[in-house]
Structure 1
Amino acid sequence: MKCEILHESRGRIRVHCVCGRMTLHQADILEFFLRAKPFVTNAKVYDRTGDAVIWYDGERRNVIKALAGFSFADESAEALVPEHTGRELDRSFENKLIAMLMWRAAKRTIVPAPIRFVLTVINALKHIKEALTALSHGRIEVSVLDATAITVSLLRNDCGTASSVMFMLGLGELLEEWTRKKSVDELAGVMSLGIDKVWVIKDGTEVLVPTNAINAGDEVIVRSGSMIPLDGVVLSGEAEVNQASLTGESLPVHKTVGSYVYAGTVVEDGSCVFRVDKTSGCGKYDRIVKMIEESEKMKSQAESKAVHLADKLVPYSLAATLLTYLLTGDSVKAISILMVDYSCALKLAIPISVISAMRESSVHGITVKGGKFLEAVSEADTIVFDKTGTLTHSTPRVAEIFTFGGSSEEEALRLAACLEEHYPHSIANAVVEEAKRRGIDHEEKHSTVEYVVAHGISSSIDGKKAVIGSYHFVFEDEGCTIPADEQEKFDSLPHQYSHLFLAVGGALAAVLCIEDPLRDEAAEVVSSLRELGFEKIVMMTGDSKRVARCVAEKVGVDELHYEVLPEDKAEFIRQQKAEGRKVIMVGDGMNDSPALSEADAGIAISSGAAIAREIADITISADDLYCLLTLRKISRALMTRIDRNYRFIMTFNTALMVLGAFGIITPTTSALLHNGSTISTALSDMRAYLP
């Protein structure tokens, strides 16, 4: 592409694209193409002027080379553009705002007064209709105040005041709509399903392939804990699917042959094969927006209290108006009061505060499903951690393999990886990665795989039952035995590792020693959480006493529970809540799901099981645990902002009413100040919470 350099300084260059008129989509293609370059730190493309501003590190010639090789027709560049970028939303708002201002100016300067009066009356009918509708339902809402002010102005033949009031109301509605849509759009833009690879059945064999390589008609298999990557129709099998993020249904939906499954929903139990119906788009953005809109219904108590109070104050605003008119006989003073209400500001500013907090959380790798969960995090005094994949790294590794019964180390690892690869969990991933590292090919040669939550996996190979999992599952539940002449070897297994037991045909075949290194930041995060107000920090794990104690001592938790089952974690949280505590649960696996659901706020690690992320109220990045500190700070800052907004809105609008009642400000000025303060508060609430 040909470009003309307009200006440049160290690490920054502005160019003009010689390509004729640039469309919105072309601007997005160029902007995301530039941002994808490793040497570009930021890029901004202006479609109106055809200019691009690029901030970069390194040599200038890299930028020039990238621009020279760019083409709007490049499919790889176009593929970098998200489904929604926000550019179209901004342009739509700009056009509406310009049109509104130009019409307002033209009406005041060109349109004759009689026609202007008729147009004002016609515009007023909409507000009057809304007021009558509210009254017919027995509600005295803000629309009643607006319609009363407009009607009184028209009856006084004060067309200017009525027109100004409606203009301010329209401008306020436009700005409110844009502010909210912008917040939702930015939040949706940083959220995604995040499914990179899926299991596809080809020639009767399961093959792991990238999601973007899936075509309509492909057969995909999903199992317990897996997220369904694409829309499709079930061909075989049965599954209980959690569709809460899509439909809001609290109970899982039974799916069988012929049922339709949706991208982004999660298999809670069972497994099924489905034929992909569509691969492009799949409504992912719309579903995320729907989730955000649903999350707005999950108001915190502070939100609900403020909004309910705002509704209750509307009749008092109307009463103050009537009282002012009865005492002064001045309709202008009465109208000045009508121009002010508490409801608009509270109902806009507070939800915007919540959405802004959710958006900022997303920037830091945290996905929050509603304001009530941020409030729960801000008020929580107890936090419960799972160990594996949470306090320890989400990518543990296989340190050693001990074989029994004549099994070879290579064959044991091949079989273990073959079984574990179907169920995403940090330990399962460790086994698969070790096989990959050693170059061991683990072809599918087992029958149907069954996953037992918090215990292990069962299947059969060459007619023999194969199980892999915990000591309790392999030896107590399945009744497997240790070869008689190898008991001493079994007893001398290294104690510093977690153990994964593999048995075939009822006899122990191998023990995989899993090194689960503690996260570097774990101890610091636990200490910082205590400084941020957590009174009780607990670790609960299904791991052995020796391993659990070792981790607990290093991290510095207040309380330790080991060798626990999923229901034990959930019961502990119920007990804590019964004692009046606000409890947060942090986990990453299917076995954490009951506890995540039971907590006041369940927090899942993004690299964990899909069902955990689905059930959890909050999902944090797997990169580090510092996200928890960020989450606590943002949630506290949010509640402080909501409280500050509440006090400011009540004080400022009361002051406007008093000034109007004494005739110090006119109705138009009152409307201007009221709407101006509402919009400025909302825009202020879009500011970052953290420095």
Structure 2
Amino acid sequence: MNAVIIHESRGRMRLQCRLKQKEMSLRQADLLEAWFQKQSWTSRVTVHERTGCVILYYTGARETVLQAVRQFSWKQAEQSVSLPAHSSRMLNRQFEEKLVGKAALKLVSTLFLPTPLRIARVLWHAVPFLRKGLRCLRQNKIKVELLDAVSIGLSIIRRDFATAGSVMFLLELGELLEEWTRKKSVQDLAQCMSLNVDRVWLNTPEGEVLTPVSQIRPGDRIAVRVGGVIPVDGMVTDGEAMVNQASLTGESLPAAKRPGSLVYAGTTIAEGACTIEVRQTSGQSRYDQIVAMIERSEQMKSATESKAANLADKLVPYTFAGSLLSLILTRNVTRALSVLMVDFSCALKLAMPLAVLSAMREAGREHITVKGGKFLETIARADTIVFDKTGTLARACPKVVRIIPFSGHRETEMLRLAACLEEHFPHSMANAVVEEAKRRDLKHEELHSKVNYLVAHGISSSVGQERVLIGSAHFIFEDEGCTVPAGEQEQFDALPLECSHLYLAIDGQLAAVICIADPQREEAQDVLAALRRLGIQKAVMLTGDSRRTAEAVASRIGIDEFCAEVLPEDKANYVAALRAQGHTVIMVGDGINDSPALSEADAGIAVSDGAAIAQEIADITIAAESLWELARLRQLAMALNNRIRNIYRFVLGFNGGLIALGVAGLLPPSASATLHNLSTLGISLHSMTSLPCNGIETTPEK
């Protein structure tokens, strides 16, 4: 790319792109910004299409950045970057032009149009407002549209065309800002919730090849396996799978998909695997479905939003009654009209949804995806939080920390044998064993016979004439009846409590115990303390690990209550029992086995690097980097509740004051209408600002 550096400081660079055309196109700006964001050294980037400037914040060596910029080409960027179907930049440009055009037209008509033409323009613009008011009358509804129509109609009857024009201009301006903000918020939110699938397994004559999703075309065939997200719309051509479509249909039960069945982007495979022939690429239909869901789904609205919308319409009759009472008492049409120019509904209907959508958008900037306003409300009032252990309180990358041999066996030989068996079933603990054998450079030959795997129990096989078992304590000692070698019970009783144990037995006797631990998240203890300061009263941990392991982790982190050796249905039942006791429960998990509990909780939170199905079922998704996002989420939810309470107070107080001044004759109708509409715009713009969370303490206690 041909560009020059016009300003530079440490870690920041301002580039001026040299283009053939005068101005960078919107698509080019989106493409360039997406390309920069994909680079590992980019911290933050902004592209200004009108000036062709790029403001780049980066990490690492300056020369690496410059070299990448020199090698940039638009053609390669098109192939490596997938742009969303809808551009925020395009949306902003459209509404900027509408806003400037509307303001310029109002100014020109006021300054230069002769009076007859200005009156004709006001009458023409009044027709849609009057039509909406008449429609309300025909439907026997007293709503905001009727109030606006009466206010404009009375002003025209009184030949106060300036007031009627100003009221309509402010109403149209408010509607435009509302539509702009709502569409922008929905679009930003939808992009947060869009698929983040970079690569897929493409079927080729040479076999499966990991391929960037941007290179997938209709007609290609891709393979998707259990736990994976289906990144495209297509048809199953091979294999069978149970597909969870809750994100699209709301149905919690997976649907069976066989050859000939259609599958859709954004759904997840709960069981099985299949090959899909691509019909539509890039998951763009998925994007449209998300936007439609956010815009149309009433169930995603918070109770506060619904209450505000209902209250807004309920207050309209009282505004009419106040106007009529003012007319009866004062016999002054101007004072009565001043009351009509004010209503509580505009600010309530406009500010509440904008506040919620802006909070959701702000959460998105913090790498927190919230799928509906009602979940923020739930987070704010929750008193109990339930954690899965692995992947949340502990990182989901178990490691072998110790190998304890029994019966005179050598440590390295037992690890070699365990790795030989476990490499066939790559669950997390098996991976830990295999990785430890690799780290120690142990080669393990296939000496065993057929391997039998029992889900959630262990593995059985034979090596020579010896029967070898590896698995949980329940499997080894209870199901298979193995014993601890004589004289070694004391060593067995001294096994480290903080570890999970994998038991290896040969011919009915314990041969070794492999101690495996999930590295605890360093911030877990401080995050729990912060959540308690934010009003969480009870923290619970549910885990499939042994009671000894769970007890050690719980005491170290500061968990109030824990349950060990639980199955997925046990987690869901536990959450249901807490709710039955009157608690508002947040569930945090990351795996397929957490999905039932995430669905059962008042608000389910999934960690973003966990199973795709958990993310789809969850109401909220947080990034995997740090649990501090839970505290930030609680902060945002509580700050949103505070803002909504303040909006109610301001709207009722300010508009009530305008009505009082109008009845007293201190405010003419034009001033009353102007102040009312300006206050509505002001409170709406305030609703779109960042939520103040500084008053809520989340820093670690000293």
Aligning the two structures, in what range does the TM-score lie when normalised by the shorter sequence?
Answer: 0.7 to 0.9
Q: Label 1:618 to 1:12 Cα distance change in 2 as closer, same or farther (>3 A).
A: closer
Q: Answer yes or no: is the 8 Å Cα contact 1:296–1:351 preserved in 2.
A: no
What's the CA shift for 1:28?
2.6
What's the CA shift for 1:542?
1.7
- Give the SS at the match of 1:619: strand
What's the CA shift for 1:428?
6.6
| One-letter identity of the residue aligned with 1:523 | Q
Q: State the match for 1:353 in structure 2.
A: 355
What's the CA shift for 1:341?
1.8
For the pair 1:79 / 2:98, whether they are aligned, the reply is no
Q: State the match for 1:218 in structure 2.
A: 221
Q: Deviations over 1:217-255 (max 9, x none)?
A: 3141332x4332322212344444332322334544343
For the pair 1:231 / 2:237, whether they are aligned, the reply is no
- Give the SS at the match of 1:537: strand
Larger deviation: 235-244 or 72-81?
72-81
| One-letter identity of the residue aligned with 1:515 | A
- C-alpha distance in 2 between matches for 1:428 and 1:82: 39
- C-alpha distance in 2 between matches for 1:436 and 1:264: 36
Gaps in structure 2 of 5+ consecutive residues: 695-702
Q: Answer yes or no: is the 8 Å Cα contact 1:84–1:189 preserved in 2.
A: no
For the pair 1:602 / 2:604, whether they are aligned, the reply is yes
Larger deviation: 71-80 or 354-363?
71-80
Q: Answer yes or no: is the 8 Å Cα contact 1:242–1:268 preserved in 2.
A: yes
Q: State the match for 2:540 in structure 1.
A: 538
- C-alpha distance in 2 between matches for 1:366 and 1:467: 43
Q: State the match for 2:648 in structure 1.
A: 646
Q: Label 1:7 to 1:612 Cα distance change in 2 as closer, same or farther (>3 A).
A: closer
Q: Answer yes or no: is the 8 Å Cα contact 1:403–1:412 preserved in 2.
A: no
- Give the SS at the match of 1:389: coil
For the pair 1:90 / 2:92, whether they are aligned, the reply is yes
- C-alpha distance in 1 between matches for 2:143 and 2:450: 64
- Give the SS at the match of 1:688: coil
Candidates 177, 180, 183, aligned match of 2:179: 177
Q: State the match for 2:244 in structure 1.
A: 242
- C-alpha distance in 2 between matches for 1:67 and 1:219: 33
Q: Label 1:312 to 1:27 Cα distance change in 2 as closer, same or farther (>3 A).
A: same
What's the CA shift for 1:533?
1.8
- C-alpha distance in 2 between matches for 1:203 and 1:328: 89
Larger deviation: 310-319 or 333-342?
333-342
What's the CA shift for 1:335?
2.7
1:487-636 equivalent positions in 2, closer than 5 A: 494-496=495-497, 497-500=499-502, 513-636=515-638
Q: Answer yes or no: is the 8 Å Cα contact 2:245–2:254 preserved in 1.
A: yes
- C-alpha distance in 2 between matches for 1:13 and 1:364: 24
Q: State the match for 2:147 in structure 1.
A: 145
What's the CA shift for 1:91?
0.6
C-alpha RMSD of matched pairs (Å): 4.1
- C-alpha distance in 2 between matches for 1:99 and 1:310: 30
- TM-score, length basis structure 2: 0.84
- C-alpha distance in 2 between matches for 1:504 and 1:129: 86
What's the CA shift for 1:111?
3.6
Q: Label 1:195 to 1:506 Cα distance change in 2 as closer, same or farther (>3 A).
A: farther
- C-alpha distance in 1 between matches for 2:487 and 2:259: 48
| One-letter identity of the residue aligned with 2:353 | P
Q: State the match for 2:157 in structure 1.
A: 155
Q: Deviations over 1:522-545 (max 9, x none)?
A: 222222222222222222222111
- C-alpha distance in 1 between matches for 2:198 and 2:434: 16
What's the CA shift for 1:192?
3.4
Q: Label 1:34 to 1:400 Cα distance change in 2 as closer, same or farther (>3 A).
A: same
Q: Label 1:287 to 1:451 Cα distance change in 2 as closer, same or farther (>3 A).
A: farther
| One-letter identity of the residue aligned with 2:340 | L
| One-letter identity of the residue aligned with 2:419 | L
- Give the SS at the match of 1:195: coil
- C-alpha distance in 1 between matches for 2:434 and 2:534: 38
- C-alpha distance in 2 between matches for 1:550 and 1:641: 41
Q: Label 1:359 to 1:448 Cα distance change in 2 as closer, same or farther (>3 A).
A: farther
| One-letter identity of the residue aligned with 2:500 | S
- Give the SS at the match of 1:44: strand
Q: Label 1:586 to 1:294 Cα distance change in 2 as closer, same or farther (>3 A).
A: farther
- C-alpha distance in 2 between matches for 1:483 and 1:109: 98
- Give the SS at the match of 1:157: coil
Q: State the match for 2:689 in structure 1.
A: 687
1:405-420 equivalent positions in 2, closer than 5 A: 409=415, 412-413=418-419, 416-420=422-426
Larger deviation: 388-397 or 23-32?
23-32
| One-letter identity of the residue aligned with 1:323 | L
What's the CA shift for 1:171?
0.8
- C-alpha distance in 1 between matches for 2:52 and 2:398: 49
Q: Answer yes or no: is the 8 Å Cα contact 1:401–1:510 preserved in 2.
A: yes
Q: State the match for 2:671 in structure 1.
A: 669
- C-alpha distance in 2 between matches for 1:365 and 1:177: 25
What's the CA shift for 1:646?
1.1
Q: State the match for 2:660 in structure 1.
A: 658
| One-letter identity of the residue aligned with 1:226 | G
- C-alpha distance in 2 between matches for 1:448 and 1:326: 93
What's the CA shift for 1:520?
1.1
What's the CA shift for 1:176?
0.9
What's the CA shift for 1:30?
3.4
What's the CA shift for 1:660?
2.5
Q: Answer yes or no: is the 8 Å Cα contact 1:27–1:47 preserved in 2.
A: yes
Q: State the match for 1:261 in structure 2.
A: 263
Larger deviation: 145-154 or 485-494?
485-494
Q: State the match for 1:130 in structure 2.
A: 132
Gaps in structure 1 of 5+ consecutive residues: none
Q: Deviations over 1:114-158 (max 9, x none)?
A: 333333223222112222222333321110011111111222233
- C-alpha distance in 2 between matches for 1:472 and 1:466: 16
Q: Deviations over 1:321-370 (max 9, x none)?
A: 22223333433333332222222211221112212222222222222222
Larger deviation: 514-523 or 289-298?
289-298
Residue identity over aligned pairs, in percent, reads 49
What's the CA shift for 1:16?
3.9
| One-letter identity of the residue aligned with 2:591 | G
What's the CA shift for 1:644?
0.9
Q: Answer yes or no: is the 8 Å Cα contact 1:226–1:267 preserved in 2.
A: yes
- The count of residues paired between Structure 1 and Structure 2 equals 680
Q: Label 1:457 to 1:641 Cα distance change in 2 as closer, same or farther (>3 A).
A: farther
Q: Deviations over 1:182-217 (max 9, x none)?
A: 222233333332335555666797776665565543
What's the CA shift for 1:665?
2.7
- Give the SS at the match of 1:190: helix
Q: Label 1:37 to 1:231 Cα distance change in 2 as closer, same or farther (>3 A).
A: closer
What's the CA shift for 1:69?
4.3
- Give the SS at the match of 1:235: strand
- Give the SS at the match of 1:586: strand
What's the CA shift for 1:317?
1.1
- Give the SS at the match of 1:385: strand
- Give the SS at the match of 2:300: coil
- C-alpha distance in 1 between matches for 2:396 and 2:43: 29
| One-letter identity of the residue aligned with 2:390 | T
Q: Answer yes or no: is the 8 Å Cα contact 1:222–1:228 preserved in 2.
A: no
Q: State the match for 1:51 in structure 2.
A: 53
Q: Label 1:594 to 1:294 Cα distance change in 2 as closer, same or farther (>3 A).
A: farther
For the pair 1:18 / 2:24, whether they are aligned, the reply is no
- C-alpha distance in 2 between matches for 1:448 and 1:240: 26
- C-alpha distance in 2 between matches for 1:331 and 1:505: 101
Q: State the match for 2:121 in structure 1.
A: 119
- C-alpha distance in 1 between matches for 2:461 and 2:344: 67
What's the CA shift for 1:78?
6.6
| One-letter identity of the residue aligned with 2:221 | D
- C-alpha distance in 1 between matches for 2:514 and 2:434: 12
- Give the SS at the match of 2:236: strand
- C-alpha distance in 2 between matches for 1:183 and 1:442: 56
What's the CA shift for 1:564?
2.0
